[in-house]
Amino acid sequence: MQRIVDTPAGDARLHYFRAAAPRALLLLGHGAGGGVEAPDLQALAAALPAAGVGVVLAEQPWRVAGRRLAPAPAALDAGWPAQFAAAAEEGLPVYAGGRSAGARVACRTSAALGAAGVLALAFPLHPPGRPEKARAGELLDTGLPTLVVQGGADAFGTPAEFPALPATHRLVEVPHASHGFKVPKRAPLTQEAALDLVVAAVTDWIPRPGG
């Protein structure tokens, strides 16, 4: 199922992957250099509904309009509340997140929107080769339970580069993985195994009833 949502930044397109007996909903935005076809987003959309978590992949207005480059962070943030509100119509706890730039949007906005938690996939801690341009404050200040899933070889920040996280936050490493969670052919784990680690981390993080 797809749905067009009008936002101040233009029309967004939501892609729904429903659970038969949903206990929560995970709303995910994509990065600045790609779309909802990203392998980690697709892996989560394929696997989580069986665990009772519906997934909504949010295709951002700039992509829906056919543009290749993402706008400034303020424009990304402006378009997100309407997408969150549409997901929240399901009446379920909504966990907000995304990969890379989408993770940054969720970190900046989720507390004000009433999200149950934040999922940061491949959080861009800094531009490649520019560790002095750190964006750790966005991640540290979510004010919500936050899961970071980070590739061990991410040029935008490896797990070892992250500062100490508050007790509300959890950091899971995908060994040898790049910013897109790709692993080299010589790595001791396969590409499928790397994505399985992403899915397992998210599945374990979202609370189950009575858990």
Mean pLDDT of the chain: 95
Percent of the chain with pLDDT over 90: 89
pLDDT in tens, 138-191: 999 999 999 999 999 999 999 999 999 999 999 999 999 999 999 999 999 999
pLDDT in tens, 103-118: 999 999 999 999 999 9
- 10, 2, 89, 86: CA torsion to nearest 10: -10
Greater model confidence, 72 or 191? 191
Give the pLDDT mean for 25-48: 96
Greater model confidence, 177 or 68? 177
d(CA 201, CA 21) in angstroms, rounded, equals 21
Percent of the chain with pLDDT over 70: 99
Q: Is 107 within 8 Å of 120 (Cβ atoms)?
A: yes
Tell me the whole-structure pTM to 2 decimals: 0.96
210 pLDDT above the threshold of 70: no
Give the pLDDT mean for 190-204: 97
Reported as type and span, the H/E element at residue 172 is strand 169-174
d(CA 133, CA 60) in angstroms, rounded, equals 25
